[in-house]
């Protein structure tokens, strides 16, 4: 795990234990901005089957309930149909595995033909999925499948905008834990589809020591105690510490942390921190990151920029399902 970070960042204190531990949680995927769409798709790690099935089943159960009474009243049970799902606007596709699973959950006999793959940029009118089989099953599953595609493609599209905004710098765009409850794995997958990088998946896979942790630890060398306790609990986990003042850097950088989170700092403060850290730890900028601001933030020399809005307030990309044929 520790060697993974060195493929992304050259540490100034290689092998000496100061900031040289790997931040593997940042690096679940490496998507170069110059890669073709097909190559980008190949580099997207697949969603776990259990995640896909649980999400599809939960969404369909919520929407359908005991029965789709409108379809039950209007559509004969043996009516067959064909349909397509297509994009109504430009965007980056994400969510195909779970959208397809929605249809399978409703009727395993439906024939699904994938016409586009996650990670590609869609044009208006472009077909992403063709479906044929039971007309009733297609209608019942339609909305849930579209909801997943719209929401997750919105995340991927917004992520791609941020990734393109920092092109030409070493900065990588990170997501956060500010996700829709119950959709974290899917939204973080969508971030990767857009070319971003996953931060920690939850509270269990990385240490992030913040002011509130230290405030509740009593007196004395609270930071030193926190770092020692964290290393004792899990020596291999990435250890990140939040800082909000430049004068904190000289002390913290000697304590062997992996990442320094520069929270709500000005551009000049970030540049000063990067200079002081001098490659001895990775740097993450956080706080009020907008598309307009991130290019300047990236040019300060930080390694990562975390953006909560990738998942907490994203606009959906519009998709539609169109019935193309009917057979009674």
Judgement on whether residues 212 and 288 belong to the same structural domain of the protein: yes
Q: Cβ distance 105 to 148 under 8 Å? A: no
Judgement on whether residues 176 and 289 belong to the same structural domain of the protein: yes
Judgement on whether residues 105 and 248 belong to the same structural domain of the protein: no
210 as an active site residue: the answer is yes
Specify the pTM: 0.87
Of 89, 107, 114, 263, the active-site residue reads: 263
Reported as a single tens digit per residue, the pLDDT across 183-232 is 999 999 999 999 999 999 999 999 999 989 988 887 889 999 999 999 99
Distance between CA atoms of residues 284 and 310, nearest Å: 16
Domain extent, residue 99, equals 42-159+315-327
33 as an active site residue: the answer is no
Which residues have C-beta within 8 Å of that of residue 126, sequence separation ≥ 6? 86, 87, 115, 116
Judgement on whether residues 143 and 201 belong to the same structural domain of the protein: no
263 as an active site residue: the answer is yes
Judgement on whether residues 149 and 180 belong to the same structural domain of the protein: no
Judgement on whether residues 81 and 92 belong to the same structural domain of the protein: yes
Of 105, 142, 240, 242, the active-site residue reads: 242
What count of Cα atoms within 13 Å lies in the side-chain half-sphere of residue 275?
Answer: 10
Judgement on whether residues 8 and 62 belong to the same structural domain of the protein: no
Reported as a single tens digit per residue, the pLDDT across 106-153 is 999 999 999 999 999 999 999 999 999 999 999 999 999 999 999 999
Extract the residue ranges of the chain whose pLDDT is less than 70.
1-42, 328
Of 64, 88, 143, 184, the active-site residue reads: 143
CATH number at residue 85: 3.90.1170.20
Judgement on whether residues 285 and 295 belong to the same structural domain of the protein: yes
Of 6, 117, 178, 271, the active-site residue reads: 178
Judgement on whether residues 217 and 167 belong to the same structural domain of the protein: yes
Of 6, 161, 210, 299, the active-site residue reads: 210
């Amino acid at each position: 795990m520790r060697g993974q970070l060195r493929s992304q960042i050259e540490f100034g204190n290689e092998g000496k234990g100061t900031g040289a531990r790997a931040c593997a949680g940042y690096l679940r995927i490496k998507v170069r901005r110059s890669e073709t769409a097909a190559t980008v798709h190949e580099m997207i790690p697949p969603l776990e089957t259990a995640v896909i099935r649980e999400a599809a089943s939960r969404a369909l159960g919520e929407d359908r309930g005991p029965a789709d009474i409108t379809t039950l009243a209007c559509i004969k049970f043996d009516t067959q149909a064909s349909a397509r799902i297509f994009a109504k606007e430009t965007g980056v596709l994400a969510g195909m595995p779970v959208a397809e699973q929605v249809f399978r959950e409703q009727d395993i006999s439906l024939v699904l033909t994938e016409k586009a793959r996650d990670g590609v940029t869609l044009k208006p009118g472009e077909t992403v999925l063709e479906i044929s089989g039971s007309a009733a099953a297609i209608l019942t599953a339609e909305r849930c499948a579209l909801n997943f595609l719209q929401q997750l493609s919105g995340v991927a599209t917004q992520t791609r905008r941020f990734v393109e905004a920092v092109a030409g710098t070493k900065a990588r765009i990170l997501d956060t834990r500010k996700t829709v409850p119950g959709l974290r794995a899917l939204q973080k997958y969508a971030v990767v589809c857009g070319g971003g990088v996953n931060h920690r998946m939850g509270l269990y896979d990385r240490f992030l020591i913040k002011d509130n942790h230290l405030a509740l630890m009593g007196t004395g060398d609270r930071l030193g105690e926190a770092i020692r306790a964290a290393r004792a609990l899990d020596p291999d986990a990435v250890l990140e510490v939040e800082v909000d003042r430049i004068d904190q850097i000289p002390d913290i950088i000697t304590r062997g942390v992996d990442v320094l989170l520069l929270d709500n700092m000005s551009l000049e403060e970030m540049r000063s921190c990067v200079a002081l850290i001098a490659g001895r730890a990775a740097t993450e900028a956080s706080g009020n990151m907008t598309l307009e601001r991130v290019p300047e933030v990236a040019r300060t020399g930080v390694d990562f920029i975390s953006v909560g809005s990738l998942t907490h307030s994203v606009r959906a990309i519009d998709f539609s399902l169109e019935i193309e044929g009917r057979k009674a």
